[in-house]
A and B are shown apart, each in its own frame.
Chain A
């Protein structure tokens, strides 16, 4: 059978980075095909190529056997390639029905828009999906999950032949995920070819017919999901010799951070944990579990609704990041471009930004002083750049991340919160970041590490706190930690996690030494 979509030999570079190299993929009509891989594997680049946002440097794309080019998003849509992005791109001020049909509204007499018919057809689409949504409602008031459904309906309204879902379950509750799956299955029955991009392996096995693994921009394997196991899948995803610097056990000191019954407005509820000096506490969980939100509340970016936070025993109430900074908390955010760095500043400017007042109490900036400080840190962290006056925009991802860390180290914090510290970072820099974390912990810092990288979590944490849908699902000490236990807790199978925890750990707890695929 001719594949609905056939990609052959696709390559794409961005400057010095090869996002995709000689990748091939076939999507058959009426199948749900998973695309898995770590961050940086090239999944979203491939999606963007199919969506018409990027053009491949090499390779061929065929639709139903015919070679095509996809120069821009509107053309992709007209070819029947519908993409549902992780973040819905809707018009918040317009109604659901209008969002569904905006590209091609049904026309009435004299070419005017037929509102009644638009509403009818929209309602019909949602009925087909067995979803109850008020098509006259303004999109602004809808939940993320509902907005995603609108995007799917939008895709189906143009009779999509190919539906691409990019990390669709990131912000959904489990009940919403079930609903989504039912819809995706129904869509499959209509003969649509579906590409399901995800890093949630349990979903891949629950929903998809075949799976393709990308690693470092290359195609690794394509197989029917019944012939794969989580183990093999993970091994394909990680593949290489992973050399990690495991955390050395030390004697943790006093509590530097104590969190009790903390809740925010909507992402997490009644979370309690503590971090001691010299400890690395790993905060694990699926995307959307609420981990970053916890960090943002701890750092004063968002307000807390209930609960208490104590830093070195003293209760604190942060109303802004500058308060948190003054109390000795540092936060390395998830999105270093958006939140972590001022790209249009030099390394020096970025590194000194939080400590300017401290560094120059007499207001006037002395370049020699700040350059010296910045050099200290860039040397210590082995940042590769032409000099401390180089603009950070020109640095690679790994080096940019180091600059962010340098910035926070310069504030001499007592508590360091790292949010996905090695995401999108090359393996060499990743190792260095871990080395730095170890040094910092050894010097008495308390570290809270949010990470979706299970091997990293297991290797680096003294204790692992697992979050599931905004609540703590488990706290696993290093000695008892395995990937299964973490994943069980993260996916809500708490009782199993507890049962497993009660048994002594079976042979081979992960110590993070060089081993393939763990």
Chain B
């Protein structure tokens, strides 16, 4: 009874194999880029370059973690780049107004969480598509950053702050921000893939109704994911301001594209329900190396935008093409074309 239908549908092991395949591709890509990097410049393999390479992408990598969960639940958060800007702006403004940075940081994180809450409430309670809500907050948060800072640039920060943002652990090429990312990465990895919270997140992405009817608190989880993303984007904004030692109203512009690219490159399905944290972590490093190699090869910042955009489109197109070719291969192997309009396996027919 289950035999011929089962053949058409992947079992658990096959699914694992598919994920492993994507991550293998990424590792190969990463390796290839590293090789290219050593070819392009002798400076590539130095500790200093490693620190630069990694630092440049840490904020993006950090935001990619909660963004992955949001995309798995079939939502999206476009406002992250503006939250980055708003967080840095408010922190700087508070500092100038007299509030010491160590107190300012928790305040800004709270504001980040509240911004995420706004996103979450509008998406779950008002039922507005996440795309539109976060497009609105993309503008709104950037607007707040504009209002708070205006054209001012805040470039005087406490030493420990800028040291944390840009410096490395004594004697090693490991940036402090990498430690932050490592900690967060491990937490997200564990929660997503080893706890039942992650299981519920995947359930929401695969079948929101069935999840809800199975007692999963769908709206609550979705809202919390937006809150988390806001909080972490604010953290990233603080780190960015620390690294550049500067808060401007346009901090973070363009980050949304890069974060989405990292997530998609990491194998997360933009339509929801599938993805892995380790894949995204790999993708973040792959992007870091790519940007580094491009820069060492003399490609300036603006052109890197093209590279990222192309990378985004390619990393969504390739899985689609792979799926289509597998369908074609299956058909050829079966030796006959299935009749047009066959039911999908499991479809109720009466």
Digit string of A33-56 for contact with B (CB within 8 Å is 1, else 0)?
A: 000000111111100100001110
- Min Cβ gap A364→B in Å is 5
- Say which size band chain A's interface belongs to: 35 or more
- Min Cβ gap B347→A in Å is 7
- Min Cβ gap A367→B in Å is 10
Digit string of B76-106 for contact with A (CB within 8 Å is 1, else 0)?
A: 0000000000000000000000000000000
> Roughly how many angstroms separate A321 CA and B220 CA in the complex, as a whole number?
13
Stretch of A108-116, A173-181, A332-340 contacting B (4+ beta carbons < 8 Å): A332-340
Residues of B within 8 A of A17 (CB): 349
Interface size on B, residues (CB 8 A): 46
Q: Please tell me which one of the listed residues B8, B206, B341, B349 contacts residue A342 in the complex, with CB atoms under 8 A apart.
A: B206
| Any B CB within 8 A of the CB of A365 | yes
Residues of B within 8 A of A386 (CB): 2, 6, 11
- Min Cβ gap B202→A in Å is 8
Most buried by A among B190, B340, B348: B348
Residues of B within 8 A of A342 (CB): 203, 206-207, 210-211, 214
Residues of B within 8 A of A424 (CB): 348-350
Digit string of A216-245 for contact with B (CB within 8 Å is 1, else 0)?
A: 000000000000000000000000000000
Residues of B within 8 A of A258 (CB): none
Q: Please tell me which one of the listed residues A333, A349, A389, A399 contacts residue B2 in the complex, with CB atoms under 8 A apart.
A: A399
**Residues 319-375 (chain A) with a chain B CB within 8 angstroms:** 320-322, 325-326, 331, 333, 335, 337-346, 349, 353-354, 356-357, 359-360, 363-365
Residues of B within 8 A of A360 (CB): 195-196
- Min Cβ gap A239→B in Å is 17
Q: Are A14 and B342 in contact (CB under 8 A)?
A: yes
Residues of B within 8 A of A39 (CB): 350
| Any A CB within 8 A of the CB of B216 | yes
> Roughly how many angstroms separate A342 CA and B346 CA in the complex, as a whole number?
12
Residues of B within 8 A of A345 (CB): 202-203, 206
Q: Please tell me which one of the listed residues A14, A340, A359 contacts residue B210 in the complex, with CB atoms under 8 A apart.
A: A340
Q: Are B215 and A391 in contact (CB under 8 A)?
A: no
Residues of B within 8 A of A44 (CB): 349-350
> Roughly how many angstroms separate A353 CA and B214 CA in the complex, as a whole number?
7
> Roughly how many angstroms separate A397 CA and B347 CA in the complex, as a whole number?
9
| Any B CB within 8 A of the CB of A121 | no
Residues of A within 8 A of B194 (CB): 364-365
Residues of A within 8 A of B8 (CB): 15
| Any A CB within 8 A of the CB of B197 | yes
| Any A CB within 8 A of the CB of B168 | no
Return 5 A-B CB contacts under 8 Å, by A number: A15-B8, A54-B343, A320-B219, A345-B202, A364-B190
Residues of A within 8 A of B (CB): 14-17, 19, 39-45, 48, 53-55, 57, 71-72, 299, 301, 320-322, 325-326, 331, 333, 335, 337-346, 349, 353-354, 356-357, 359-360, 363-365, 384-386, 389-397, 399-400, 407, 411, 424
Residues of B within 8 A of A (CB): 1-6, 8-12, 15, 190-191, 194-197, 199-200, 202-203, 206-207, 209-217, 219, 273, 339-343, 345-350
